[in-house]
Amino acid sequence: MYRELDRDRNAERKWDRKRMWGRDYNQMCDRLRNRKRYGYSVRNQSTQKMKEFIILHAAKVPALEMTDGVTIYESLVTVNYIDDVYPQRPLRARDPLRHAQDQILIEATGPLHSVLIKLIRAPETIDEAVLEAYFKTWDLLQEELKKRGTSFLSGHEPGYVDYMIWPWTERLLAFQKKDERIKFDTPKYKLLGEYIQKMAKDPAISQYAVPDEVLLKFLEGYRSGNIVYDF
């Protein structure tokens, strides 16, 4: 599906209309809208239409399509652009040092991405070294929460770093029900668990949550080669 963003008359920019392309399993479009409180109209498109867009633009979702044919994509790039164009309720830390630290933290979650991809495509390749890096990442996030001393990594409400890490967290939460090796919902990660519970209640997250069984069915389609977009 895609969303057409309403024009923000207070922001000077080249394009009057934009299309935000996404899927029900990549809720960044909706979460951005909820957090930034900009308006858009929703138009559902067929799966074939979505495939045609991705093939035409060699793009990933979420993607932001401008009226003159320019398209930007990748979650981090799209979020940074939206945060610049719609300055209300900023996502990124305004302090340059804190923003740099947040970016470092996001980059440090690579082992979570690696485990999720392996779970989807080749779970037999998850060895001790992979799991060690995986749990060290959760250790790092919990230690960072302790050090920052706030409810969320961004402060007293979720922000850029929280929303950028969350998609991997929610998918791994679903997969840990199927693979005990990656289970991180344990007493060792008490503070992290409390943080995850708070994140799950955030309106930008809770309103667009996908049931675990539906999410798992979609992700497992990558392994079988039969990806089902419409449930």
pLDDT of residue 209: 82
**Residue 23 sits in the same domain as residue 111:** no
Element (H, E) at 106: helix 96-107
Domain presence at residue 91: no
Task: Name the domain boundary from 50, 85, 120.
Answer: 85
**How far is it, in rounded angstroms, from Cα 145 to Cα 107?**
16
114 and 208 part of one domain: yes
Query: CA 17: distance to chain centroid?
Result: 24
* Residues spanned by the domain of 174: 96-224
Q: How many domains does the chain have?
A: 2
- Tell me whether residue 229 is in a domain: no
Q: What is the pTM of this model?
A: 0.79
Out of 62, 85, 108, a domain closes at 85
50 belongs to a structural domain: yes
Cis ω before 87 (30° cut-off from 0): no
Q: For position 52, which CATH number holds? A: 3.40.30
- The pLDDT tens digits along the chain (231 residues) read 444 444 444 443 433 456 665 554 456 666 766 676 665 544 445 555 555 655 555 456 677 777 666 777 777 888 888 888 888 888 899 999 999 999 999 999 999 999 999 998 889 999 999 999 999 999 999 999 999 999 999 999 999 999 999 989 999 999 998 899 999 989 999 999 999 999 999 988 998 788 888 777 777 776 777 766 555
Q: Collapsing DSSP states into helix, strand and coil, what is residue 42?
A: strand
Residue 39 falls inside a structural domain: yes
